[in-house]
Structure formats: structure tokens, C-alpha cells
Amino acid sequence: MSRVRIAIPSEGEGGLDGVRAGHFGHCDVFTFVDLVNGEIDSVSTVENVSHVQGGCMVPVNLLASHNVDVLIVGGIGMRPLMGFRQVGIDVYHEGETREIRPVVNNMIAGNIPMIQENQVCGGGGGQ
């Protein structure tokens, strides 16, 4: 049985019918979508934590502690991208779609590419 946990930076309360946050480090919550054999099994959320203390690695450690396999972002800086790679979380880039459900469906269908280093942003600013 194949299990994958996807994390999506989200606004407000998040969830499958929620909307994505533009920059992962400043999202309200992360929506977790657990896939089993390529189908949605469960959906949950976890509040983001302030990363004043610990910088960019705080969300990396948060997601790693929740056994996330895949992160889908609209924007990310190089330092956190390297951090996610170090902990074994694959980062994918989708900068167009605001709604979470179609992003998950596109991920399941294999239509979202892994982020390339030339797609990272400076971080901190609105993406």
C-alpha cells in the first residue's frame, strides 16, 4: 500500500475546500492531504508556527515532524528549499491555482513539476 502525505500552505482554516497561501512561510495553517494508493484518504490541518526564532528551518522541522512527504508551494526561498531537501521532503511548484482541491487533483494526476532552483524567490516578500 502506497501512502503519501502532501502539505499545502493555506489561508484561514485551510482544508480541501480552502485556498492556498502565496508564501509558505507566512501561511496560517498547513493543509495535510493523505493519499493512499493515489486517492485521498484523509485531510487535516496544523497551525503554522512563527519562525522569528529559528528562521526558515522552523516550518521545515514542523512539516518533518508531521511525516510530510511532499510540499506544494507557489513560492519558496533557497534556504528553506535546501532544508526540505535535507529532511527528505520533495518540493513541487504550482503558482497559478488558488484553490486547494484542484491542486491536489493535479498532483495526483502527475501534472505538477518539482521546483527548480531557478524558481525560488528571495523570501520574506509577498509572492
pLDDT tens, 23-53?
Answer: 777 899 999 999 999 999 999 999 998 766 6
More confident call, 124 vs 45: 45
Percentage of the chain modeled with pLDDT above 70 = 91
pTM: predicted TM-score of the whole model, two decimal places: 0.90
Q: What is the pLDDT of residue 26?
A: 82
Cβ burial of 19 (10 Å; 0-12, 13-18, 19+) is middle
